């Protein structure tokens, strides 16, 4: 059993998405707060990012944001957070989010969300950490990504054990249960290149 005191949520910043995605992000924020789990995220007010933060705050939760200076206006930095770190760039932001979190929950999002998820997955593939990464499959959103990983395995670009780098969950409860599992052994680079 792994203690999960803080969860980093990666999710979309777009305002132009279906209400179901927005509702689920707000619900995740509320559930994290109700479980006493600190939300760590990108610090913005826009899109699902704003929804998850507002959900957690409304339920009395702790929310920690990391936003780069150059996105402070663009992503409408959230000024009501427990902690808002205004940092010098994307790398510092992502490292801050990584260090403050016991696990990663990936909600639907765009290219930025993919980048953030892939970074923690590839770090894990290289044996740099063992933190859980869970994709919340709201309305089957991540199915094409899962199919892509299967295609990589079938073509030999990834190994079957790389499926264990992440878990797919269709509910908050399933996501938390996956995060609380004992962590897998560290991957070693040899497991891919041998």
List contacts with ligand AMP (CB under 6 A). 12-14, 42, 44, 71, 75, 90, 94, 109-113, 115-116
**Strands across the sheet with 103-106, in order?**
83-87, 63-68, 38-41, 6-10, 103-106, 133-136, 167-169
Q: Nearest approach, Cβ of 172 to ligand AMP (angstroms)?
A: 20
Minimum CB distance to ligand AMP smaller for 141 or for 163: 141
Minimum CB distance to ligand AMP smaller for 95 or for 186: 95
What DSSP string runs through 117-163?
HHHHHHHHHTTS----EEEE-GGGTTHHHHHHHHHHHHHTSS-GGGG
Minimum CB distance to ligand AMP smaller for 14 or for 191: 14
Q: Nearest approach, Cβ of 146 to ligand AMP (angstroms)?
A: 18
**Token code pair at residue 127:** 């044996």
Q: Nearest approach, Cβ of 101 to ligand AMP (angstroms)?
A: 15
Q: Nearest approach, Cβ of 46 to ligand AMP (angstroms)?
A: 8
**How far separated are the first and last CA of the chain, in Å rounded?**
31
């Amino acid at each position: 059993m792994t203690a999960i005191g803080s969860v980093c949520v990666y999710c979309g910043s777009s305002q132009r998405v279906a209400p179901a995605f927005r509702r689920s992000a707000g619900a995740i924020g509320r559930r994290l707060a109700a479980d006493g789990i600190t939300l760590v995220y990108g610090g913005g007010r826009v899109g699902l990012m704003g929804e998850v933060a507002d959900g957690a705050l409304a339920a009395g939760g702790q929310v920690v944001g990391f936003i780069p200076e150059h996105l402070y206006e663009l992503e409408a930095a959230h000024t009501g957070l427990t902690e808002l770190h205004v940092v010098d760039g994307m790398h510092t932001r992502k490292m801050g989010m990584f260090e403050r979190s016991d696990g990663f929950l990936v909600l639907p999002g765009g290219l930025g969300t993919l980048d953030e998820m892939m970074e923690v997955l590839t770090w894990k593939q290289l044996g740099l950490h063992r933190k859980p990464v869970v994709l919340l499959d709201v309305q089957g959103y991540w199915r094409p990504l899962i199919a892509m990983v299967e295609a990589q395995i079938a073509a030999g670009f990834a190994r079957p054990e790389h499926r264990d780098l992440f878990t797919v969950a269709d509910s908050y409860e399933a996501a938390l249960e996956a995060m609380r599992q004992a962590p897998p052994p560290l991957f070693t680079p040899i497991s891919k290149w041998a």
